[in-house]
Amino acid sequence: MPATSPYTERNMEKEITIYDLAKILALSPATVSRALNDHPAINVKTKALIAEKAAELGYRSNTFASHLRTRKTNTLGVIVPRLNSNFMSTVLAGMEEVANNFGYNLLISQSLESESKEQANAKTMFNSRVDGLLVSVAYDTESIDHFAAFISRNIPVLFFDRVMEHPQCGSVVIDNEQAGYDAARHLLDEGCRRIMHVTGDLRRNVYADRMDGFKRALSEAGIEADSASILSTDLSQDAGKSIADHIDQMPAKPDGLFIANDLCAVTCMQALQEKSYTIPGDIAIVGFNNDPVSQVITPQLTTIFYPGYQMGKTAIMAILAQLNGTKPLIQDPIILRSALIIRRSSKRLGDS
């Protein structure tokens, strides 16, 4: 049986340190430290020798100690409602690209649409000493008191998509009111007069604002948005099926449908088609987000393009600007542009 190096045995018992590497290689701890940090004063051969020995013995950089010295972790916390969302995945991809380019890591968690889970996530982020926090709030979040520890210590907090107002917190959004208006205006222009809007939790800005835009478009057309024309759901796939059942039972059925989420809209379309409704002949439909599923369904779904990737990149740039002191902590909301994408699911007039 081959003899075991005393340093290998030692490594099994405790972490290998820079001092251990220095003793083994007969070098100074300062030289080892500089080599591991790719300092230009250390020649390439010495760096390679030290890196090889460090890998052999399982050396791990003590980033925690470094963080204590610099008071920075180069980590940003991100709290999202759900990770199983194409839109949120796109946002996170944009965030990660910019964060990595600037030497930051992301610590990501999901609230699962629960304020209590969001509170626990915030506590974990705070205890992890993140340098800044980006949040899209849960359905049922009523207060942002759980972010007070960050704010009181001047740790930047930035809300995106679903936002809460606070004078010391930034935000990145689209003009949801205008997007809701554009969706409803398009249905009106296609000849729809009995338009239903399916929304999410109206405590959230994204859904409340889209509904306001929907109402504004109807009001301009001299149509009252009554209780029968607005349906609040969780915008899930199951909700899409339930919406189709609800419509099928309505004595005065809608001829236009604006659903504030593509996945829910597509599920509803499929359920309506199974009930022999034609799209857009019987009911013209507009969704929201421009998820890939909007182009897979037949007919393809008219939707609102939501610039998720740009939102993620913009949010990270904004919070890094605060951390680097290039922009003030308090700033006006950053509003990104959305766009109506017209496809066959809503084209009732003219060429389809």
**pLDDT digit string (tens) for 107-165?**
999 999 999 999 999 999 999 999 999 999 999 999 999 999 999 998 999 999 999 99
Higher local confidence (pLDDT), 321 or 67:
321
Q: What is the pLDDT of residue 258?
A: 98
Listed in order, the ranges of the chain carrying CATH 3.40.50.2300 are 74-175+308-336, 176-307+340-346
Cβ contacts of residue 129 below 8 Å, gap of 6+? Answer: 67, 73, 75
Query: In this structure, are residues 34 and 21 in contact, taking their beta carbons and an 8 Å threshold?
Result: no
Q: What is the pLDDT of residue 324?
A: 86
Mean pLDDT computed over every residue of the chain:
90
Listed in order, the ranges of the chain carrying CATH 1.10.260.40 are 6-61
Judged by DSSP in three states, 192 sits in coil
Residues 196, 189: Cα–Cα separation, whole Å: 15
**pLDDT digit string (tens) for 290-347?**
999 999 999 999 999 999 999 999 999 999 998 987 776 556 899 999 999 999 999 9
Cβ contacts of residue 25 below 8 Å, gap of 6+? Answer: 32, 49, 50, 53
**pLDDT digit string (tens) for 256-284?**
999 999 999 999 999 999 999 999 999 99
The segment with the largest mean pLDDT, out of 18-22, 35-39, 59-63, 182-186, is 182-186
Q: What confidence category does residue 6 fall into, taking pLDDT thresholds of 50, 70 and 90?
A: very low
Nearest C-alpha neighbor of 297 from the set 275, 276, 319, 273: 273
Q: What is the pLDDT of residue 11?
A: 41
Residues 266, 282: Cα–Cα separation, whole Å: 16
Residues 102, 157: Cα–Cα separation, whole Å: 18
Judged by DSSP in three states, 51 sits in helix
Q: What CATH topology corresponds to 6-61?
A: 434 Repressor (Amino-terminal Domain) (1.10.260)
Q: What confidence category does residue 14 fall into, taking pLDDT thresholds of 50, 70 and 90?
A: low
pTM, two decimals, is 0.79
Lowest-pLDDT range, 59-63, 100-104, 340-344?
Answer: 59-63
* Whole-number Cα distances in Å, 86 to 82, 94, 160: 10, 13, 16
- State the architecture of 74-175+308-336 in CATH terms: 3-Layer(aba) Sandwich (3.40)
CATH (residue range 176-307+340-346)? 3.40.50.2300
Q: What confidence category does residue 55 fall into, taking pLDDT thresholds of 50, 70 and 90?
A: confident
